[in-house]
Amino acid sequence: MSKVILPYCEPMYLTYNYLSVIGVPAKQNNTSDIWYYNNTVQWSCMRKFLHGYTSPLINLRIGEIKEYPFLYQSVVNYRFTEKNISDIIKRMIDSGFYVAFSGVDDYYVKGKSWYREKHFNHDGLIIGYNEKNENKAENSENKIENSANKAGKTENCEEDTFFIASYNNRWIFTVFETPQKCFFEGMKACIKNGEYGCIEALKANNKKISLDLKFIRETVEDYIFSKSFDYSFNKSDAVLGIAVYDFICMYFDKLLDGSIPYERKDRRILRLIWEHKKCMQKRIEYCENYCGWDNSLSEEYKKIVVLADKARFIYSKFVLKYSVFDIEKIQQLLMLIKQEEFKLLKNFDKKLASVTSPIDRSP
């Protein structure tokens, strides 16, 4: 029997799987939080929902794997390693690498969001494995081939398992154990449809990230001085900064008038807003401590985090049951958050200006 599980710390952002999958190994760098403070001030939403799309696609402006300077990444495509993927995964974990995966159908993976409910090509993170079978005579190729022939027979699986960090069947991002053969069934199902995913070995190095007060100041100013009237309703690309609140309210208007069907709503919107506010509060507090300021500003900003959490809770009720009142209340909360955040971040900007050199904004 062989059991290996790598450390798990909850990442800064959990709204989207890809942010979570990167965030877990990122946490193994002791200064990773500072990277988030430097780089995730700015966010955006897309205007595609004004022209028929059903999500505002609210997201961070920075957060792709290539943008983390302290993460090592090595990618292996299933197309070339399908027969021995099991051994590769275990060798990666044995070497201290987390294993991000894509191209695996949730329907077959016990514990995943859409297990036995919906076929969905999805991703996640393997952080460990448990080899319960002492007989190693069966090679990886046979294991994977056999698993592909056992679809629908995995409910009582007591065989070798993977420990996966992902959204579970209760829509909570956590670590759960799933049979390896279930995982390979999901992989095979996607490959059969011509959808080749990959595994990515991810490992944080010890590169020290330093606080960049000038860059934070620059992005805070970009954030607070964005105006919704600067963005045409005829376009579909990104809206940045504090103007995002206005466009999210427009998205909710479309849910209310039926132009975006209720059953097609994006359930993740308010979580990203709440997580962004939590990170902003931590950013302000870290800067206060770093610069020797008092904590009055970060303490006041906590009220915004509470408002965002309240809006998130109300939206969770709306996701379960349509309510005009709930959406109107959320819109009111978002406008209040926008108003209060503008005032507090303007004060934050003044403090940052007192300890940084002038920003060159010439074209």
Block mean pLDDT (10 aa), the chain, length 363: 92 93 96 98 97 96 94 92 88 97 95 92 95 58 51 54 93 93 95 94 97 98 95 95 98 96 95 98 98 98 98 96 97 98 98 93 75
The DSSP bridge pattern shows strands 98-105 and 121-131 to be antiparallel
Cα–Cα dist 70/73, whole Å: 10
pLDDT at residue 155 in the model: 44
pLDDT at residue 142 in the model: 52
pLDDT at residue 187 in the model: 95
Strand, helix or coil for residue 182: helix
Sole residue written with tokens 């403090």: 351
Sole residue written with tokens 């698993």: 147
pLDDT at residue 91 in the model: 96
- For 222, phi and psi rounded to 5 degrees? -60, -40
Dihedral of CA 38/287/349/330: which sign?
positive
Strands (E), the chain: 2-5, 43-46, 59-60, 71-77, 98-105, 121-131, 161-167, 173-179, 198-204, 238-240
Look up residue 193 and give its two tokens: 């449809």
Please say whether the beta carbons of 203 and 66 come within 8 A.
Answer: no
pLDDT at residue 220 in the model: 98
Strand, helix or coil for residue 112: strand
Cα–Cα dist 99/89, whole Å: 7
